[in-house]
Structure 1
Amino acid sequence: MAKYIFVTGGVVSSIGKGIVAASLGRLLKSRDYSIAILKLDPYINVDPGTMSPFQHGEVFVTEDGAETDLDLGHYERFTDTSMSKLSNVTTGAIYQAVINKERRGDYHGGTVQVIPHITSEIKDRIHRVANNGNPDMVIVEIGGTVGDIESLPFIEAIRQFRKDVGRENVVYMHVTLMPWIPSAGEMKTKPTQHSVKELQSVGIQPDILVCRSDRQLPQNIKDKISEFCNIQPECVMTGQDVKSIYEVPLAMEREGLAEQVLRLLGMPQRQPDLRSWQTLVERLYRSEHTVEVAIVGKYVRLSDAYLSVIEALKHGAIALNSNINLHWVNSEDIEVYGAEKFLGDIDAIVVPGGFGHRGVNGKVAAVSYARDRQIPFLGLCLGMQCAVIDWARNVVNLSDANSAEFAPESKNPVIHLLPEQQDVVNLGGTMRLGLYACRLVPHTLAHQLYNEAIIYERHRHRYEFNNAYRSLFLESGYVISGTSPDGRLVETVELPSHPYFIATQFHPEFQSRPSRPHPLFQGLIKAALDRKQQQESHPEEAQELALATTLYVE
């Protein structure tokens, strides 16, 4: 039978439950335990696929095509374990399943209620994860904050769970806030006490407390929390702020998190192997170079909208003993002030995905700037479509070229709707989603970076390159370096005359890992480092190129 660890949060939202859950997963896996992770989200949306990035942040896509919470990205990156459709469940999905059962008559005319029907459905989703691959441990993160009305069915379900599977098979871990009050010069335990009291009021006594703080908790504070919250002193742990999220597993290991979890579950204490993770963190803090990277997007007011892109860039930099200095550039600002104002001192440019026409011309201008100035460029999903539009307008001289998504009446829709999307009515979960194969053309940059003939990447899009323009693009020097195995769908494009110019219809950021950086992102950082080194060793050539390009643009 699997063991279960339930992770809840108190006092404030965004307290770091996902990172703590992912870190615990890393620590258990380093002890050779198999793990699975599930996120229970309290919002009524069936999935985050139709939610604004400004509200929800990034939509993470799994291999089997689920649109999920961004915490699943942390789970995958920390544990190097692929998540699935089973790994993210929302209140909307739970209620939808229960209502469908009621409509079919599964409840034989009985009154459908939160208890037992909703809670039973929640418990069933947890058991599905446990039965899929038979992991040793299942870590379940409860979204939201204890005390929220929308979280109550989930809290009740996990309360019942200990009774169902046995006390010895369940651990409750609560993440809470321990603020330092500068004017008083002391740490306050009351928020944690009240949060635990709230949890106890609904029938759950936490076994482990992870107290988020900007400093280490003194032993007397841990003893006080232990006394007031009825928790063993060794199970009160500091969740201290660190420079990088990748240091959190090491900090939690020093606190003894995995050791206490295994003790409470009656599992053997195994020696962890965290050497590779320790090396990763050391390299992160010993970077020899810094690269200036611009992310040109329309959701830059919330960096979580591009979370996997940010992490993939970091992974590529770590592998090259480098650090990245991110510049957030609103594509709408480029439309007003021009690209030079924001991209003049940039070493690499990334144009990520997105939807809708807002800010698209700014993205196209950023692509054009990267192409003209020979700045290493990576386009992702909409970023590739913008690269295609730029080439059509500025090289092939189709001045009105556009995407059918933004200009349905365009005479030159170089990007158009996938045929299988023509009759789609419901927006949620109906895009081209999940892992698909891509065949790479030999002797191209893509083939050189991947060093594979067939690759598999995750997708999330409705529109594609319009094959009616394929010959025109190829004749003008554009290279289509990757397609679907049947050759129909264009997956990657590149410019061989450019130091590093490649764009993909898929989302490579979802498969990047700290210990296995994605080749496209590592290639981008390497190209940026090479360009920077060349500029530093031959400044006169860089100045001449900048002047020539400026005259060309004007």
Structure 2
Amino acid sequence: MARYVFITGGVVSSLGKGLASAALGALLQARGYSVRLRKLDPYLNVDPGTMSPFEHGEVFVTDDGAETDLDLGHYERFTGVSARMTDSISSGRIYMNVLEKERRGDYLGKTIQVIPHVTNEIKDFIEIGDEEVDFMLCEIGGTVGDIEGLPFFEAIRQFAQDRPRGQCIFMHLTLLPYIAASGELKTKPTQHSVKELRTIGLQPNVLVCRSEHPIPEKEREKIALFCNVRKEDVIAAPDLKSIYEAPLAYHREGLDQAVLDAFNIAPAPKPDLSTWHDVADRVFNPEGEVRVAIVGKYVQLEDAYKSIAEALTHGGMANRVKVKVDWVDAEIFEREDPAPHLENFHAILVPGGFGERGTEGKIKAAQYAREHKIPYLGICLGMQMAVIEAARNLAGIDTAGSEEFDHEAGKKRFEPVVYHLKEWVQGNHTVRRKSTDDKGGTMRLGAYTAVLKDGSKVADVYGTTEIEERHRHRYEVDIKYREKLESCGLVFSGMSPDGRLPEIVEVKDHPWYIGVQFHPELKSKPFAPAPLFRDFVRAAKENSRLV
């Protein structure tokens, strides 16, 4: 039976609960324990799948096809444990489950209430997989005091009461603001946050305090006194130069020891932090720098491409270089020549996205990379833009485009070399979709197998001819254009096992030009970089020596 750590936040949002949870998971693993991390989000969307990246950042996709919060990406990157559909839930999903049960008559005609029906649904979710791991780390989204979070706080209070004593603890993350005029860290917001938590029946065992400055001993003692925790359980969380320093920084502050003490685990196993020392060494001691342009449509919010940015960092670590990323708005290239904007970069990446906005600029970026022999990685929509570019400029299909854009415009403007996927094989059954279906959860989602062409660039990169990567898209490159495009030098080097769906394209006679329909960034980790990103950065490093 697992021990549970419930992670909550207070004072302000975006303090780094997800990162703290992930770092704690990594530290517990370093001591020999197995862990699983879980996110409970209070918003009423069923999942983040239909939310704009400007609202919620990127959507992280699991192997089993769940569209989840980006914090699950942190969990995977720090622990290496593949997230599941059962590791992310929202208020919307909870209420949907409750209402579906009510419609079926599962509640035998009772009045449906937040307590006990909603809280019971949350508790049932929390304990899924209870027997599989030593520690279950459950992060509650939002901050204490948010009205939508109350059912979750009540559920974890009940859950801890239902379990044997000492099986659940609470970790609370707060902010210690610094007042420059007085030169002081102020503890009052933390005191009020803990007070709010205690009014709903939750007493934190460990306090993690974010601050821009070290916490003086006097303030640490004050926090411990007024928040009813031991001084040793007040953990400082200063700003870091890299998120990959977090496990070592939290270990120095005693977070993992404080958690084990709260569970009365003594003597605690000694941690093996060699992996994280190596990760930190690669981050802080690069032997060069490469510049990569990410040409996208959500560049104003870097969290929209969080996993891509981290995968590039991992690729840099593998090659002992620092990857300097510049975010380039694709729409600029619809008005201006891309050359002045891209000529100083060692590589170009065009990420995924939805909708027509910015796509002509992405096509021009793909064209510039192809013609100027600059390493290019196109992901999902970035692959489709590369195919459209080749169709227009190499194969002579002047009106080549995507059915997605015609669907938006309500009229036919393009020859659709990219079309709406209506049927595909998932596991041992066929999935069918219509363009009029609901948006949520109706894409090709999760891990699918791709068969690589023997002797191709990607087969060399992966070191195998069969891979499994995660997908999230509704539109596919039409296989009927394969012969014409390949005759022009665009090779279809990866296909679905049934040979119907193009998974990877690459350009012959180019140093490094690859487009993939899947999202390789989602499986990349600092200690196990995604093969495509590792080799993409290697190609950028090689290009940096030539320019």
Give TM class, smaller chain: over 0.9
2:482 matched residue in structure 1? 470
Which runs of 5 or more residues in structure 2 are unaligned? Answer: 424-432
Q: What is the distance in 1 between the residues matched to 2:491 and 2:437?
A: 34
Task: Kindly provide the amino acid, as one letter, of the partner of residue 320 in structure 1.
Answer: N
Aligned residue number for residue 314 of structure 1? 313
Contact in 1 for aligned 2:49/2:67 (Cα 8 Å): yes
CA distance in structure 2 between the partners assigned to 1:533 and 1:423 by the alignment: 47
**Match for 2:505 among 483, 490, 493?**
493
Question: What are the equivalent positions in structure 2 for 1:164-179 lying under 5 Å apart?
Answer: 164-179=162-177
The Cα offsets for residues 125-164 of structure 1, whole Å up to 9 and x where unpaired, read as 0011424xx2111000000011000100000111111110
Shift of 1:423: 5.8
**How many angstroms apart in 2 are the aligned matches of 1:423 and 1:413?**
15
Aligned mate of 1:159, from 157, 160, 173: 157
Distance 1:488 1:462 in 2: 15
Q: Please tell me the root mean square deviation across aligned C-alpha atoms, in Å.
A: 1.0
In 1, Cα distance between the equivalents of 2:170 and 2:453?
51
- Residues in 2 aligned to 1:185 and 1:263: alpha-carbon distance in whole angstroms: 34
CA contact (8 A) 2:177 2:185 kept: yes
**Whole-Å Cα distance in 1 between the matches of residues 18 and 434 of structure 2?**
37
Correspondence for 1:416: 419
Distance 2:413 2:36 in 1: 48
Displacement of 1:325 = 1.1
- Residue 341 of structure 1: CA displacement? 3.1
Do 1:38 and 1:129's aligned partners in 2 also have CA atoms closer than 8 Å? no
* 1:25-52 CA-partner distances (Å, limit 9, x unpaired): 0000111111111100010000000000
Q: Which residue of 1 aligns with 2:459?
A: 447
1:393 is matched by which residue type in structure 2?
Answer: R
What is the one-letter code of the residue matched to 2:318?
Answer: A
TM-score by length of structure 2 reads 0.96
Counterpart selection for 1:198 from 196, 199, 209 = 196
Listed as ranges, the matches of 1:475-486 within 5 Å are: 475-486=487-498
Q: CA deviation at 1:266?
A: 2.5
Listed as ranges, the matches of 1:69-148 within 5 Å are 69-131=69-131, 134-148=132-146
Instruction: Determine the C-alpha separation between the residues in 1 that align with 2:251 and 2:165.
Output: 25
Q: CA deviation at 1:249?
A: 0.7
Give aligned pairs, total. Answer: 533
- Within-5 A mapping of 1:3-402: 3-131=3-131, 134-268=132-266, 269-402=268-401
**How far does the alpha carbon of each residue in 1:2-41 deviate from its partner, in whole angstroms, 9 at most, with x for none?**
1000000001110100000000000001111111111000
2:385 partner amino acid: C
In the TM superposition, what is the alpha-carbon distance from 1:407 to its structure 2 partner? 2.3
Tell me the secondary structure at the aligned position of residue 130 of structure 1: coil
Shift of 1:477: 1.4
C-alpha offsets along residues 200-244 of structure 1, whole Å, 9 cap, x if unaligned?
111111110000011221222111100111111100010111100
Kindly provide the CA deviation profile for residues 303-358 of structure 1, in whole angstroms up to 9, marking residues without a partner as x: 00000000000000011111011111011112122212321211111000000011
% of aligned pairs identical?
A: 52
In structure 2, how many angstroms separate the alpha carbons of the residues matched to 1:519 and 1:285?
22
Paired residue type of 1:159:
R
Whole-angstrom distance in 1 between the partners of 2:349 and 2:479: 25
Letter in 2 for 1:171: I
Structure 1 residue runs without a partner (length 5+): 536-554
- Give the Å deviation of 1:470: 1.0
- Indicate the larger mover: 251-260 or 338-347: 338-347
- Whichever residue aligns with residue 19 of structure 1, its letter is L
Alpha carbons 2:420, 2:435 under 8 Å: kept: no
**1:424 Cα shift?**
5.5
Q: Distance in 1 between matches of 2:435 and 2:458?
A: 33
Alignment of structure 1 residues 530-545 onto 2, 5 Å = 530-535=542-547
Q: What is the match of residue 427 of structure 2?
A: none
Q: Which runs of 4+ in 1 moved over 6 A?
A: none
Residues 364 and 389 in structure 1, CA contact (< 8 A), matched pair in contact too: yes
* Paired position in structure 2 for 1:460: 472
Counterpart of 1:242, as a letter, is L
Contact map agreement 1:445 1:494 (CA 8 A) in 2: yes
Matched AA of 2:449: A
Kindly provide the CA deviation profile for residues 31-89 of structure 1, in whole angstroms up to 9, marking residues without a partner as x: 11111111000100000000000101000000000000000000000000000000000
Choose from 528, 535, 538 the match for 1:523: 535
| Contact residue 380 and residue 504 of structure 1 kept, 8 A | yes
Q: Aligned letter for 1:236? A: V
Q: Which moved more, 1:195-204 or 1:83-92?
A: 195-204
Shift of 1:411: 5.1
Matches of 1:215 and 1:275 in 2, distance apart?
A: 28
Tell me the CA shift for residue 179 of structure 1: 1.2
- Structure-1-length-normalised TM-score: 0.95
Tell me the SS of whatever aligns to 1:405: helix
Distance 1:361 1:485 in 2: 31
Using the alignment, how far apart are the partners of 1:235 and 1:166 within structure 2? 22
Question: Residue 295 of structure 1 aligns to a residue in which SS?
Answer: strand
CA contact (8 A) 1:36 1:130 kept: no
Tell whether 2:445 aligns with 1:433: yes
Give the structure with the higher percent helix. Answer: 1
Distance 1:314 1:528 in 2: 13
Distance 1:110 1:423 in 2: 39
Q: Is the 8 A contact 1:424 1:430 kept in 2?
A: no
Aligned to 2:428: none
The SS at the match of 2:353 is: coil
Question: Contact (CA 8 Å) 2:63, 2:447: kept in 1 or not?
Answer: yes
